[in-house]
Amino acid sequence: MKKVDRFKSYMKNSEQLFSCPICAASMVVDDNHIVCKQNHSFDIAKKGYINMMTQPVHTKYDKDLFEARYQFIQHGVYKPLHDKISELIGQRQSVIDLGCGEGSHLAKITELVNHDMIRAGLDIAKEGVMTASKYHLDAIWCVGDLAQVPFKDSSFDVVLNILSPANYGEFKRLLSDDGFVIKVFPNSGYLKELREAFYNNEEYSNEETKKRFKESLCDIQEERLTYQAPISAELVPFLLKMTPLTWNLNERVDLELKEVTVDVDILVGRGG
């Protein structure tokens, strides 16, 4: 089956989850579109994703960044994080990753979950969603704004939000009765090798952003995950390209690295 047909069939099976981003009505998938009762219609792209932005947005994240991020994540650097999140998801039946980037985290985590579940990934950067649809099958890949998500109330058991901005009102709206949010925050050691190489390694604190999570959700669980992951020399150029940390460097940079530090806080909270 062609990739676009496989995507359309995945969309058709999940069409009951969508709500129109313009009028909030239910939507159905027809030939090449998803359309609401008031005829607001969004094209299904041939590459196997859907763009549901009501206005185009230009972001700083480009195709090369997402491609680099994809290559980097394939090499297992985030495996302990994926293991942890898949354990937290357990037997849940549906997950949406808001700010999914190029989709590898969602794909790898749901592979580890090891049972069929509805998966959706949404990002405001079209290039991210296009890269996701290029590499990962059987998910709703959607260009959209996480502050105005085109899915119905209570439609997901798990909202994932990894190293991305949050909108807790919207996250809570999307959660099913027993659902929860899993958010990953960078901590002070996250990719510290890059900050040590290019900056003065100023102290970074995520306390303020975690505070907003804790004020917005309930039954909070928190866990810090810190480890060093070995990386081979071929991965260094991808690492340099995949993060805004190196955007302001004008000259070409060479860096010898044998490992990188992953240092994150994983917070889980319910809507209440």
Ligand X SMILES: C[S@@+](CC[C@H](N)C(=O)[O-])C[C@H]1O[C@@H](n2cnc3c(N)ncnc32)[C@H](O)[C@@H]1O
* Of residues 114-173, those binding Zn ion (CB under 5 A): none
> Among residues 29, 34, 36, 109, which is the contact residue for Zn ion, using CB under 5 A?
36
Task: Tell me if 75 contacts Zn ion by CB under 5 A.
Answer: no
Partner whose footprint covers residue 22, from ligand X, Zn ion, none (CB < 5 to 8 Å by kind): Zn ion
> Among residues 4, 28, 35, 40, which is the contact residue for Zn ion, using CB under 5 A?
40
Interacting span for ligand X (CB under 6 A) from 7-15, 151-159, 163-171, 209-217: 163-171
Tokens describing residue 41:
């219609």
Looking at residue 23, what DSSP letter applies? T
Number of residues this chain uses to bind Zn ion (CB under 5 A): 7
Partner whose footprint covers residue 193, from ligand X, Zn ion, none (CB < 5 to 8 Å by kind): none
Q: In this chain, which residue has its C-beta nearest to ligand X?
A: 101
Burial 39-63 (b: 16+ CB within 10 A, else e): ebebebbeebbbbbbeeeeeeebee
Q: Are 67 and 90 in contact (CB under 8 A)?
A: no
Task: Tell me if 99 contacts ligand X by CB under 6 A.
Answer: yes
The residue length of the chain stands at 272
Q: Are 18 and 150 in contact (CB under 8 A)?
A: yes
Give the nearer residue to ligand X in terms of CB position, either 8 or 127. 127
Q: Are 199 and 136 in contact (CB under 8 A)?
A: no
Burial 139-168 (b: 16+ CB within 10 A, else e): bbbbbbbbeebbbbeebbbbbbbbebebbb
In whole angstroms, the minimum distance from the beta carbon of 122 to ligand X comes to 6
Angle at CA of residue 53, ends 48 and 55, nearest 5°: 135
For the chain, the C-alpha Rg in angstroms (whole number) is 19
Task: Tell me if 166 contacts ligand X by CB under 6 A.
Answer: no
Task: Tell me if 129 contacts ligand X by CB under 6 A.
Answer: no
> Among residues 4, 15, 22, 79, which is the contact residue for Zn ion, using CB under 5 A?
22
Task: Tell me if 61 contacts ligand X by CB under 6 A.
Answer: yes
Partner whose footprint covers residue 61, from ligand X, Zn ion, none (CB < 5 to 8 Å by kind): ligand X
Interacting span for ligand X (CB under 6 A) from 10-18, 157-165, 173-181, 196-204: 157-165
Number of residues this chain uses to bind ligand X (CB under 6 A): 18
The one-letter amino acid at 124:
I
Q: In the chain, where does DSSP find H-type helix?
A: 3-13, 63-74, 79-89, 104-113, 126-135, 168-174, 192-198, 207-216, 236-241
Task: Tell me if 41 contacts Zn ion by CB under 5 A.
Answer: no
Partner whose footprint covers residue 23, from ligand X, Zn ion, none (CB < 5 to 8 Å by kind): Zn ion
Q: Residues in the site for Zn ion, rule: CB under 5 A?
A: 20, 22-23, 25, 36, 38, 40
Q: Residues in the site for ligand X, rule: CB under 6 A?
A: 59, 61, 69, 99-101, 105, 123-125, 128, 145-147, 162-165
